[in-house]
Amino acid sequence: MAAASESVPGEATKLKLEPFIIQKGIYRAITLKDWRRNQVVIPDTFQKLLSFPDIDPNYPCIEWNKGYDEMLCMVKINSIMNITGAIALLKSTLNAYLHAAGIFDVRKFKTKQTDSSWSAAQVSDHLLKSNRFILGIIRGPAARSECKPDAQVHSIRMILLDDSRKLNAREFNIPSSAPADKDELLHTLKETTEELITQAAGNDPEMICTSIELPVLGMMTRLEWLYFAGYHLERHTLQLERIRQTLTEMNVH
């Protein structure tokens, strides 16, 4: 479907065209610059956006031309968040992370960009410790809640996928200065996340976990913690891509 903005209100009706209103909601989006020089990037970008399991499959993809050479590719996120969606997100983001980490050779995997930054190994260790902690929360004490079990999912996504927002590691997930070898680390991360998925399927996702309260978000339901784990993996997959690009530019071999 192709569409264009009205120049004046009522223009579509006057020209006997069917109007289309972009629904209010949360969208995944990627901005393309200078796309006219390489138009094949458009379908590739939408394929990437559509690969995520949290998108609304019944809503059209949107190309928003913001200028002659700038396009915003958008897909709507499903407003219904449930245990099936959370598990699908975890599986998808785990696979994406393991693929991104697998591209690093052994030396680059442990190489830091600067003295104060994390290596890919430390990012992986951070995720492993985080998912072990979340696994304990899922298994821990929980209570009934009158709130919607997915009430904070969109807020979790907005916080974790905001690249401009610096999030400090907590005491329980600060990575080691000398993490395990690559294969062992990624294997353990995979096993721990798969156990998290198994526990998710066997516990009531609507119960609120009472063992910890996060800043801003407070106490969260099991369902929200699962989405947290999924979007956390996605956040650090993007970080790995930036680390790899920087090491390439630094000519690290």
Which 8-state DSSP code applies to residue 171? Answer: G
Query: What's the rounded mean pLDDT across residues 193-221?
Result: 91
83-249 belongs to which CATH class? mainly alpha
User: How confident is the model at residue 23, as a pLDDT?
Assistant: 83
pLDDT above 70 for 178: yes
pLDDT digits (tens, 9 = 90+) for 34-54: 888 888 899 999 988 888 888
pLDDT of residue 186: 96
AA identity, residue 203: N
Alpha carbons 6 and 22: distance in angstroms, whole number: 13
Q: Is the pLDDT of residue 1 over 60?
A: no
| DSSP count for the chain of H helices, then E strands | 8, 5
Share of the chain above pLDDT 70, in %: 98
pTM above 0.85, yes or no: no
- Of 7-16, 168-177, 197-206, the range with the lowest mean pLDDT is 7-16
pLDDT tens-place string over residues 101-111: 999 999 999 99
Number of neighbours of residue 229 by Cβ within 10 angstroms:
29
Alpha-carbon distance values, 94 to 18, 68, 117, 149 (Å): 42, 37, 23, 23
Q: Which residues contact 234 (CB under 8 A, 6 or more apart)?
A: 93, 96, 97, 160, 161
% of the chain surpassing 90 pLDDT: 52
